[in-house]
Every structure is written in structure tokens, then in C-alpha cells.
């Protein structure tokens, strides 16, 4: 027969066991197994609201982020008023917009990929996103595959975020004028645009990304493609007859691109289309001494004067192009990322003359199109991250 434990020893073991159970329960209370709070559905339209000054608000990242692009790194370029620029908080009409939690978002996106396709304003968006997410994984590495122009891999979470440069979305190429063709109207050649063929830079990404953000717009102007070097639109390998003007060509490209996305990309891919990022050139175009040396955001009553196409202002194209994009997306599963209105206020937040390179302004003029980083695109990131979370958590 096994010897019985002595009474004092038995009592001591019971007390020790009870103490350990008590301590363990306290630890569970202080450090629950699931530290993240549930995220309720988005209760309002995040795109309508106003900017509120918050002097305690500071950026999530700084000028040392390795994913900056020099001309947009306004802290390093010592742009005036950066503290004030980043003190503004976007407040939707009927709810709060929380700032992205980089660690929590990377956890949500574990083993997933996010892709941006479009022009340099989507690259501006991407640079902000990468710098924000790097706060949650300092081991992030530059990534450039599958035709990507640039991107990053976040090894702790196996997350990839990348940008594919495709300024017109459709394939286009320069075709110089043949020497035997008479010189009419100074024509130097044409840019052939195949409206039914995606640009090579994103032709190989079907099924690769879990989330995609498309845009186009800033290259659809005669400053990029003057009459000496016009866009000529082709379909099924043949020129479209009669020839299309610029905006008619854009409409055909949008219709074909949207149809291609709907047909070829998996339904499970979460798709967004970012509407236009407004420019803030005052007094002329970028190549006509246009300027944006503003210290404060615009007032609500000023917006139509700046951006309503009926006023024929320098910056009218954003709303003009948005109408064509919204029409092309109607009835599809591609969600509108309508960042135009909130960005219209922010005439104060462009790189302007602080471009980080000697003589840049003399050569290119002020940059009143792209955005300072940190800056307005960080709010775009807050909104996009909320919409991604909402879609994933509700199974949409």
C-alpha cells in the first residue's frame, strides 16, 4: 500500500495548487488570448465629411522609410508647414474614421497580396501604404515581380503589396512617322492604343492578388499627348473608324478594361477603382507657372469654383473623368474608392517647390498633383484598410 501524505504536506500542496489557479486566471484576464477587439460594420459613408485640425496628431512614419520616393518625401525635402499639413484629420459625417493599425491589418492580410494598377497617383498611394505597414513589420523588403514597378514583402505575415505602372491601363506604344509620309501639321508619329489589350505591366496578374486597386486619368490630356504625337485607338488590331478624340478614347478603354476585369479575374478578388486625385494648380497649368503655395485647406464653398467643369478651370478634369469612370463601373462588382471630394480640400498638401532636386522646379514646374508623404494619402490608406477589413470580415 502506498504511504499516505502527511497532513501538513497535503494542506500545503492544496494551497499551492489554488494559488497557481488564481494567478493563472489573473494572467488570462490581463492578457486575453485574442487581444484585438471586434470591428463592427462600417456605419457610414467614409467619403463625405470634413477636415478637423488636431494639433496632437502626428504621422505614423517619418522621412527614413525606405519606400519613399524622393520628390514626395516632404520631410526630408524640408517642406514648410509639414506639422500643420499632418495635423488635419478627416472626419466622416456620421462616424469616426480610425487610423489604421499596421500590425492588426497585416494580421488580417496574412498570406495575402494587395496590388495597385494605374498611374503615378496610385504609386503615391502605394508609397504611403508601404511606409504605414512597415511600422508593423520593420523587416519589410523591396519586392518587384510579376511585372510590378515596385512593392514590398512583409515576411512576418507573408503579405505582398505592389504597384504595376499602367498609365492608360491599355497597351500603348510609340510609332514614329515613316520618312516617306508627308509632314502634315507637324505630326511626328502616333501612340497606338490597343483598347482591348491590357498593358504588359499587369497582363500577368490574374488570380495573383487578393485585393486590387485600379486607376487611370492623369495621362488623358493633351499636355501628355499633343497633336504632334496623338493617341490613335485600335481594336482587334485595326484602327477604330472614325478616329476617337481623347475622352471618347478613354471611354472605350474604360469599357474594355472593366469588361476584361469582370471576365478574367476571380470573383473572390476584392476589386476597387480609385476615382481621380484632384490637382491644385493656381494661375496656370504645371507648365504655365501654376502654383500651390497654400498654407490651409480650401473651404467647402471654394470647391466648385476650383473643380466644377462648368467653370472651365485648370483643375476641372477630375470631376469630368469621374463621370466616365462611374458610368463604366455601373453594374459591376468593382467598388468605387471615391477619394476625390476629401482630397479637393487639400490645396496645402502637395510637394509644390520642395522636390528634393536642384532645378526640378525650373524644369518641371511646381508639383501640385502628387501629394506630400506623410500626408493626404495616409488618410486614403485609413479608408482603404477599413473597406478591406469590412469586406473580409463580412464575407462580401
Looking up residue 89, the CATH number of its domain turns out to be: 3.40.50.1110
Please choose, from the candidates 121, 95, 75, the residue with its C-alpha nearest in 3D space to the C-alpha of residue 339.
121
Give me the residue label for grid cell 457610414.
44
Q: How many CB atoms lie within 10 A of CB 234?
A: 17
CB 112 within 8 A of CB 211: yes
Residue 225 lies in a domain: yes
Q: How many domains does the chain have?
A: 1
List all residues 6 or more positions away from 282 whose beta carbon is below 8 Å from its beta carbon: 290, 291, 292, 294, 314, 347, 368
Show the domain range for 379. Answer: 68-177+187-394
Beta-sheet pairing, 270-274 with 88-92: unpaired
Residue 50 lies in a domain: no
CA–CA gap between residue 320 and residue 246 (Å, rounded) = 13
Residue 38 lies in a domain: no
pLDDT, tens digit (0-9, with 9 covering 90-100), for 287-328: 788 999 999 999 999 999 999 999 998 899 999 999 999 999
Residue 5 reports pLDDT greater than 50? no
pLDDT, tens digit (0-9, with 9 covering 90-100), for 95-126: 889 999 999 999 999 999 999 999 999 999 99
CA–CA gap between residue 387 and residue 136 (Å, rounded) = 19
List all residues 6 or more positions away from 71 whose beta carbon is below 8 Å from its beta carbon: 77, 351, 355, 356, 357, 360, 367, 370
Whether this prediction's pTM lies above 0.75 is answered by yes
3-state secondary structure of 152: strand
Average pLDDT over residues 1-15: 50
In this predicted structure, what is the pLDDT of residue 40?
47
Residue 312 lies in a domain: yes
Average pLDDT over residues 36-41: 47
Residue 16 lies in a domain: no
pLDDT, tens digit (0-9, with 9 covering 90-100), for 166-194: 999 999 999 998 765 666 678 999 999 99
Residue 195 lies in a domain: yes
Residue 31 lies in a domain: no
How far, in Å, are 116, 154, 160, 204 from residue 148 at the CA level? 9, 16, 11, 10
Amino acid at each position: 500500500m502506498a504511504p499516505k501524505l502527511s497532513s501538513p504536506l497535503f494542506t500545503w500542496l492544496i494551497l499551492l495548487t489554488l494559488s497557481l489557479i488564481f494567478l493563472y486566471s489573473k494572467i488570462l484576464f490581463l492578457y486575453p488570448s485574442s487581444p484585438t477587439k471586434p470591428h463592427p460594420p462600417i456605419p457610414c459613408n467614409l467619403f463625405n465629411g470634413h477636415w478637423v485640425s488636431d494639433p496632437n496628431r502626428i504621422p505614423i512614419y517619418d522621412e527614413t522609410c525606405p519606400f519613399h520616393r524622393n520628390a514626395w518625401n516632404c520631410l526630408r525635402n524640408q517642406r514648410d508647414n509639414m506639422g500643420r499639413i499632418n495635423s488635419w484629420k478627416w472626419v466622416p459625417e456620421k462616424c469616426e474614421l480610425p487610423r489604421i493599425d499596421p500590425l492588426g491589418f497585416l494580421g488580417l492580410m496574412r498570406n495575402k497580396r494587395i496590388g495597385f494598377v494605374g498611374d503615378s497617383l496610385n504609386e503615391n498611394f502605394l508609397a504611403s501604404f508601404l511606409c504605414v505597414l512597415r511600422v508593423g513589420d520593420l523587416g519589410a523588403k523591396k519586392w518587384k515581380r510579376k511585372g510590378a514597378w515596385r512593392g514590398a514583402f512583409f515576411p512576418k505575415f507573408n503579405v505582398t503589396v505592389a504597384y504595376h505602372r499602367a498609365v492608360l491601363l491599355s497597351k500603348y506604344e510609340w510609332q514614329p512617322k515613316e520618312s516617306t509620309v508627308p509632314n502634315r501639321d507637324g505630326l511626328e508619329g502616333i501612340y497606338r492604343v490597343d483598347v482591348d489589350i491590357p498593358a504588359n505591366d499587369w497582363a500577368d496578374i490574374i488570380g495573383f492578388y487578393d485585393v486590387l486597386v485600379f486607376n487611370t486619368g492623369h495621362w488623358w490630356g493633351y499636355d501628355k499627348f499633343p497633336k504632334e504625337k496623338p493617341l490613335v485607338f485600335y481594336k482587334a488590331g485595326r484602327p477604330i473608324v472614325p478616329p476617337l478624340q481623347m475622352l471618347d478614347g478613354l471611354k472605350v478603354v474604360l469599357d474594355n478594361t472593366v469588361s476584361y476585369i469582370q471576365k478574367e479575374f476571380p470573383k473572390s478578388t476584392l476589386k476597387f477603382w480609385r476615382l481621380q486625385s484632384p490637382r491644385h494648380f493656381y494661375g496656370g497649368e504645371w507648365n504655365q507657372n501654376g502654383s500651390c503655395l497654400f498654407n490651409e485647406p480650401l473651404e467647402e464653398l471654394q470647391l466648385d469654383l476650383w473643380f466644377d467643369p462648368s467653370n472651365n478651370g485648370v483643375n476641372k478634369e477630375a470631376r469630368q473623368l469621374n463621370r466616365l469612370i462611374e458610368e463604366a463601373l455601373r453594374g459591376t462588382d468593382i467598388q468605387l474608392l471615391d477619394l476625390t471630394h476629401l482630397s479637393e480640400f487639400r490645396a496645402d498638401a502637395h510637394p509644390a517647390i520642395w522636390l528634393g532636386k536642384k532645378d526640378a522646379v525650373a524644369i518641371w514646374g511646381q508639383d501640385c498633383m502628387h501629394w506630400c508623404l506623410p500626408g493626404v494619402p495616409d488618410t486614403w490608406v485609413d479608408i482603404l484598410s477599413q473597406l478591406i477589413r469590412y469586406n473580409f470580415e463580412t464575407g462580401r
